Amino acid sequence: MFRALADPTRRQILQDLRGGELSAGEIASRFSIKGPSVSRHLSILKGAGLVRERRDANRILYTLVEDRLALCVGGFLSTVCPEQVVLRRRQSRRAAGTPT
């Protein structure tokens, strides 16, 4: 997870996804590196659980998984500097349909 955040391109991808779902191609077009490199970055982010992918016809759309980022990184921050960071607890976005 922290490994996934170590690369600036990946952090930028996460920020770009802040505006909503984007296709691999749209993401790639924002960087100077070639498609395959972006694709691997996306698969690393996916492996870390930071993005989710969904097929839409021809394209593959990526979405930010905010909860995961907030819980993991925020959790770490809360451990090391609990006075300065507050993790705001929040219902899971899918809580409605979740069996629990």
Site string for DNA, 1-20 (x = CB under 7 A): --x--xx-xx----------
Q: Compute how many other C-beta atoms are within 10 angstroms of the C-beta atom of residue 57.
A: 6
> How far is C-alpha 44 from the geometric centre of its chain's CA atoms?
10
Does the protein bind a copy of itself through residue 24 (CB under 8 A)? no
How far is Cα 34 from Cα 19, in angstroms, rounded to an integer?
22
Q: Which stretch binds a copy of itself (CB under 8 A): 6-14, 24-32, 34-42, 51-59?
A: 6-14
Structure tokens at 89: 């607890």
- State the minimum distance, in angstroms, from the CB of residue 67 to a copy of itself: 7
